[in-house]
Each structure stands twice: as C-alpha cells, then as structure tokens.
Amino acid sequence: MYGISVDSTWAHDAWREKLGLSADLVLLSDFNRDFGTGYDLLTTSATGLKNILRRAVLVVGADGKIVYRWDVPDPPRLPTAQEVLDAMRGATAVP
C-alpha cells in the first residue's frame, strides 16, 4: 500500500512517527507534482493555494489499470472504508 502527497520525505517521516504508521505503508513524495499532474489531481484550495493534490484514493489492479478512483475537491468528505476494501479485493482477484 502506498500513500502519496506533495509533502517532503522529512514530513512523511514525522507523520509516520506521530501516527505510528506501519512500515508496510510506503509514503511517497510528489514534491514536483508529477503524479498529481499525470492523474489530474491538482487543484487550488479555497484559500488560494495552487497546485495542491486533491484528496484521492486510487486502487490499481495487478495489470496497472485503475480499478477504483475516488477524489473530491472538498477534503472533509471521505469514501467509506467498505467501498475501498471492496475495490481492493476486486483488484487482487485472480480471473
């Protein structure tokens, strides 16, 4: 499992320690916004900050295709855990 944000790797280390995140969760930095640009996830915040990543959940199948995508410009909303788990189970299913 991967987490991606525009934060630096040092910020990720601080979040990992503060939240007690498992080493199984790989945190990647999109500091240059390459991922955000490629997946059309860049937005401008309500306060005017430009080129920030929208809050998103992407589930990528073994074939590299996106099998589930959830993203919205208003971060307080989140997908349900069950919805994401169902997508992940479907992505790992062997045909």
pLDDT, block means (10 residues), the chain with 95 residues: 84 87 84 90 88 83 81 70 77 54
Q: Report how far residue 67's alpha carbon sits from residue 90's, in angstroms, rounded to the nearest whole number.
A: 8
Answer whether 76's CB lies under 8 Å from 54's CB. Answer: no
CATH code, domain carrying 75: 3.40.30.10
What is the residue-wise DSSP string for 29-93? E-TT-HHHHHTT-EE--TT---SEEPEEEEEE-TTS-EEEEEEES-TT----HHHHHHHHHHHH-
**According to the model, what pLDDT value does residue 95 have?**
46
pLDDT of the residue at 87: 77
Domain count, the chain: 1
Q: Dihedral (C-alpha) 66, 59, 68, 28: value to the nearest 10 degrees? A: -80
Domain that holds residue 9: 2-92
Model pLDDT, residue 34: 93
The pLDDT of residue 92 is: 59
